Structure 1
């Protein structure tokens, strides 16, 4: 199964390519153990990754030190055949009018989209401190605010002015029931980049036959509304594989989270990946929460069944005692019986053994 990684801000009609954003260079990333890389726990539900060719080339050519780990990962994934490159710009240019018209029309519906803009800004403010710490001096003034605010200031003043940016944020979070025509116009313009961005990724996904899109989590609200209002698709259902897998590792088995491209690729080669995927889907369908209680319950069930297996192994050994005059036959019978019961009893726990593999090899 394939997953398309977004290229934040690139090829979006309303986002000037002259804006110098370090965060705009990269696909959706996470910060783990001091380095920046892809979110491999969420990607465990997929076997191939689709990425914008321009994005790949920019990251690989970048001299930004904090991106060193990400550069190495993308090269590895490309060389090992896990990463396919697609020219997003070609599809963006071919569908520019459609993208612009759809976004412009939607931006007038403030009741639908303004709440999602507020969530985006709130979520960005939560993750920004980590980005500032990871990127250091490479975090430019154009990385500090929501992309809608940055595009508006770029068009109106050509620079980031903190006072003006804060005024725009205040307008977004204002509880005023009646807004002036000017205020409504500004809010619409703040929404357009997000509406164009999400629509562009959906168009590219449609063209390349990859409906699964992985973008920055701050944009989930925009995708949810796009899916439900325009595509008539269940966003939550389509997000289950990624979000559930991410929760499993981040909340229940954090120390086992795959942290490198090599670990991710190694896990994909293990046939127990299917067991893990099936268990995640089953748990979510049954309403189970991936937390410490889930982890403890899973380990307790495994311990119980291992005890049961040990008891059966003793019984099998006892039953085969009369064959001790034929030791080779006795050993073969015992081994075959043991393998049978191991498969039968421990099969439901194969995913649990699998999930611990990354940490075992560090």
Structure 2
């Protein structure tokens, strides 16, 4: 089997909540998706998606992903898409870094691989645990009571995890506002729920400590990505009274190895596009497992194609280490594919269909903006 064709699509995904607000005054109304189709010489096809969270989240943006695919795609023609590690080696030889560009191609190869052997991707990644997974909401920053209402609304839809955004600057309300946001969102906490207070690197050790000291004892949450640098994170780690998980600081395998060596955190947000696709996510999953680090399997954002990859990867994480998965498609309004995971009491399992188990909506994607063929 050889890669015969690679197609590149660009799609705008409107945010379902109107305006998404992050720390530092960052706002998003839509997200630009890069979607890739890989077709083998026997006609088997696979699909993958990379949707960066704007250009101010990490060093990734949609036009950069497109340029990366353009660099890589011609060099993959004629290669066996089922040799996912070798495909990744070939991508690394052509382009250093740029994980978000490689992620879409990598996911498409896994989808194609699964279809070629009539097996779900999760089985190729090590096998599903068979334990239904809780989903996590993404509660953008706002007034405390408004955020509380959004948590209640997501709870009514079956969400057991809630990622609440914090990181107010001093002129916006600072640590006092963030502490009020956390208290409000946890006010109606139900048994079995999991809360993340996610600063997306918007705090420094001083503001983080001030915020934590304003909180009452006994609030059950973890602090995600409090600071933007390793030095700041390690400084806070020495004094922090709650568990810390990292996100933006852990992109490459060596970042995770550094976290483990320095005992810098208790877990990570494993985001597939940020890691560079399912192939590196599989390695990072195993490193976390070896070190006893917890994981929430997510992505920066994404439509149904990205969500399918999240579900398949999440299903392979041991339940004692998996906290939640992100239903990324709930964050956007455009349906790029039909994906029907198994639902049990609000929890999720991957379907038995081969590959990622998706039926792509070609009309929603439009025509490819570029294509390469043997």
Q: TM-score, normalised by structure 1?
A: 0.25
If you compute each CA radius of gyration, which structure gives the higher value, 1 or 2?
Answer: 1
Structure number with higher helix proportion: 1
Q: TM-score, normalised by structure 2?
A: 0.25
